Amino acid sequence: MRALLLSAAFLALTAAAPPKKLTPNDVAAAAPASAWRTIPAEDLLVMTMAGGGRVVIQLAPEFAPVHVANIRKFAAANYWQGAAVYRVQDNYVAQWGINEAKRALSAGAVAHPPHEYTRSARGLSLTPLGSSDPYARSVGFSRGWPVALYKDGSASLTHCYGTVGVGRDLHPDTGTGGELYAIIGHGPRQLDRNIAIVGRVVAGIEQLSALPRGSETMGFYKEGLVAKPIVGITLASTYPAAVRPSFQYLDTQSASFARYLRIKKNRDDDFYRVAAGGADLCNVPVPVRPTPGR
Amino acid sequence: MRALLLSAAFLALTAAAPPKKLTPNDVAAAAPASAWRTIPAEDLLVMTMAGGGRVVIQLAPEFAPVHVANIRKFAAANYWQGAAVYRVQDNYVAQWGINEAKRALSAGAVAHPPHEYTRSARGLSLTPLGSSDPYARSVGFSRGWPVALYKDGSASLTHCYGTVGVGRDLHPDTGTGGELYAIIGHGPRQLDRNIAIVGRVVAGIEQLSALPRGSETMGFYKEGLVAKPIVGITLASTYPAAVRPSFQYLDTQSASFARYLRIKKNRDDDFYRVAAGGADLCNVPVPVRPTPGR
Residue with the larger pLDDT of the pair A172 and B220: B220
In a domain, A143, yes or no: no
* Amino acid (1-letter code) at residue B72: R
- The predicted pLDDT at position B238 comes to 97
Residues A235 and A276 in one domain: no
Using a pLDDT cut of 70, give the percent of chain A over it: 93
Torsion of CA A62, A167, A99, A212, to 10 degrees: -120
- Statement: residue A283 has pLDDT above 60: yes
Where residue B216 sits, what CATH number does that domain have? 2.40.100.10
Give the pLDDT score at B2: 57
Answer whether B273 sits within 8 Å of A193, measured CB to CB.
yes
DSSP state of A290: E
Q: What percent of chain B has pLDDT over 70?
A: 93
Measuring CA to CA, which residue among A287, A246, A294 is closest to residue A40? Answer: A246
Q: CB of A69 within 8 A of CB of A60?
A: no
Answer yes or no: is pLDDT of A11 > 50: no
Are residue A229 and residue A189 in the same domain, yes or no? yes
Q: Residue B171's pLDDT is what?
A: 84
Does B167 contact A at CB distance below 8 Å?
yes
Taking CB atoms and an 8 Å limit, are B6 and A169 in contact across chains?
yes
Mean pLDDT of A48-73: 97
CB atoms within 10 A of CB B13: 10
pLDDT at B18: 67
Look at residue B200 and tell me if it is in a domain.
yes
Per-residue model confidence (pLDDT) at position B8: 35
Q: Which amino acid is at A205?
A: I
- The verdict on A79 and A182 lying in the same domain is yes
Residue B292 has pLDDT above 60, yes or no: yes
Please give the pLDDT value at position B3.
45
pLDDT of res. B12: 41
pLDDT in tens, B45-60: 999 999 999 999 999 9
Range of the domain at A266: 19-36+249-286
The one-character DSSP state at A34 is G
How far does B254 lie from chain A, in Å, by closest CA?
23
Question: Distance between terminal CA atoms of chain A?
Answer: 33
Contact indicator for B111, B120 with CB cutoff of 8 Å = no
CA A154 remoteness from chain centre: 21
pLDDT digits (tens, 9 = 90+) for B244-267: 999 999 999 999 999 999 999 999
CB spacing of A283 vs B188 below 8 angstroms: yes
- Cβ pair A185:B185 closer than 8 A: yes
What is the band of A102 on the pLDDT scale with cuts at 50, 70, 90? confident
Burial of A82 (0-12, 13-18, 19+ CB in 10 A): middle
CB contact under 8 A, A194 and B1: no
| H helical segments located in chain A | 7-13, 24-30, 65-76, 206-209, 255-265
Task: Map residue B120 onto helix, strand or coil.
Answer: strand
What pLDDT shows up at residue A189?
Answer: 98
* Dihedral angle over CA of A154, A160, A163, A168, nearest 10: 70
Number of domains in chain A: 2
Work out the widest C-alpha separation in chain A, in whole angstroms: 67
A212 has a pLDDT exceeding 90: yes
Residues A191 and A262 in one domain: no
Burial class of residue A292 in the structure, from the number of CB atoms within 10 Å of its CB (0-12 exposed, 13-18 middle, 19+ buried): exposed
The per-residue pLDDT for B172 is: 87
B21 touches chain A (CB under 8 A): no
Tally A–B CB contacts below 8 A: 188
Kind of pairing between the strands at B145-149 and B154-157 = antiparallel
Q: Is B5 a member of any domain?
A: no
Work out the mean pLDDT of chain B and round it to a whole number.
93
> Are residues A60 and A31 both part of a single domain?
no
* Mean pLDDT (chain A, rounded): 93
User: Which of residues A101 and A105 earns the better pLDDT score?
Assistant: A105
The verdict on A281 and A177 lying in the same domain is no
Whether B19 is covered by a domain: the verdict is: no
Smallest CA–CA separation between A2 and chain B, in Å? 5
Answer yes or no: do A281 and A215 share one domain. Answer: no
Judging by DSSP bridges, how do beta strands A228-235 and A197-203 pair with one another? unpaired
Residues of A in contact with B87 (CB under 8 A): 1
Q: Is B147 part of the contact surface with chain A (CB cutoff 8 Å)?
A: no
**Is A2 within a domain?**
no
Asked if A194 lies within 8 A of B272 by C-beta distance, the reply is yes
Q: Is residue A189 part of a domain?
A: yes
**Nearest residue to B204 via CA among A86, A186, A96, A91:** A91
Note whether residue B260 is domain-resident. yes
* Residue B182 C-alpha, separation from nearest chain A C-alpha, in angstroms: 11
* Lowest mean pLDDT, pick from A54-63, A220-229, B51-60: A220-229
The 10s digit of each residue's pLDDT in A15-29 is: 456 678 999 999 999
Q: Do B213 and A218 touch (CB under 8 A)?
A: no
Please indicate whether, in this complex, the C-beta atoms of A280 and B194 are within 8 angstroms of each other. no
Contact B194 A272 (CB under 8 A): yes
- For residue A12, the model assigns a pLDDT of 41
Are residues B279 and A132, on separate chains, in Cβ contact within 8 Å? no
Q: Are residues A78 and A189 in the same domain?
A: yes
Alpha-carbon distances, residue A162 vs A136, A159, B34, B72 (angstroms) = 20, 8, 39, 37
Chain B nearest-CA residue for A210: B210
The predicted structure's pLDDT at residue B16: 58
**Diameter of chain B by CA atoms?**
67
Which amino acid is residue B220, in one-letter code? F
Contacts of B209 (CB under 8 A, 6+ apart): A90, A91, A209, A213, B94, B184
Question: Å from B224 to nearest chain A CA?
Answer: 15
Q: What is the pLDDT of residue A2?
A: 57
| 77-96 of A, contacting B, C-beta below 8 A | 87-88, 90-91, 93, 95
Mutate to test the interface with A, among B164, B274, B282 (most CBs of A within 10 A): B274
A175 and A269 housed in the same domain: no
Helices (H), A194-280: 206-209, 255-265
B283 touches chain A (CB under 8 A): yes
- What integer is the mean pLDDT of B120-124? 96
What CA–CA distance (Å, rounded) separates B202 from A218?
A: 18
- Any domain includes A150: no
pTM above 0.90, yes or no: yes
Examine the domain organization and report whether A104 and A207 are in the same domain: yes
Judged by a CB distance cut-off of 8 A, whether residue A193 touches chain B is yes
Give B100's contacts in chain A (Cβ within 8 Å): 2
Residues A233, A199 contacting (CB under 8 angstroms)? no
Residue with the bigger pLDDT between A223 and B158: it is B158
Q: Does A216 touch chain B (CB under 8 A)?
A: no
Pick from A186, A213, A220: CB nearest B283: A186
Residues of B in Cβ contact (< 8 Å) with A193? 273-274
The predicted-structure confidence for A231-274, as pLDDT tens digits, reads as follows 999 999 999 999 999 999 999 999 999 999 999 999 999 999 99
CA–CA separation, A192 and B153 (whole Å): 34
> A160 to chain B: which residues are within 8 Å by CB?
186
Q: Do A170 and A102 reside in the same domain of the chain?
A: yes
Distances from the Cα of B208 to the Cαs of A108, B148, B245, in angstroms?
43, 26, 19
Contact present, B233 and B56 (Cβ < 8 Å): no
pLDDT-derived band of residue A10, with 50, 70 and 90 as boundaries? very low
Count of C-beta atoms within a 10 Å radius of residue A129? 24
Closest residue in A to B98 (Cα–Cα):
A2
* A62 and A166 housed in the same domain: yes
Contact A133/B133, CB-based, under 8 Å? no
B17 in Cβ contact with B249 (< 8 Å) = no
Region A221-240: what's the mean pLDDT?
Answer: 90
A206 CB within 8 Å of a chain B CB: yes
pLDDT in tens, A118-153: 999 999 999 999 999 999 999 999 999 999 999 999
Closest partner residue to A171 (CB to CB) among B93, B170, B270 is: B270
Q: What is the ipTM of this complex?
A: 0.94
**Local confidence band at B243 (pLDDT 50, 70, 90 cut-offs):** very high
Give the residue with greater pLDDT, B9 vs B270: B270
Dist CA B114 CA B106 (whole Å): 18
Query: Does A190 sit within 8 Å of B1, measured CB to CB?
Result: no
Most B CBs within 10 A among A92, A190, A261, A262, hence the mutation to make, goes to A190
In B, which residues are within 8 Å of A189 by CB distance?
276, 279-280, 283
Q: What span, in angstroms and rounded, lies between the C-alpha atoms of B19 and B36?
A: 26
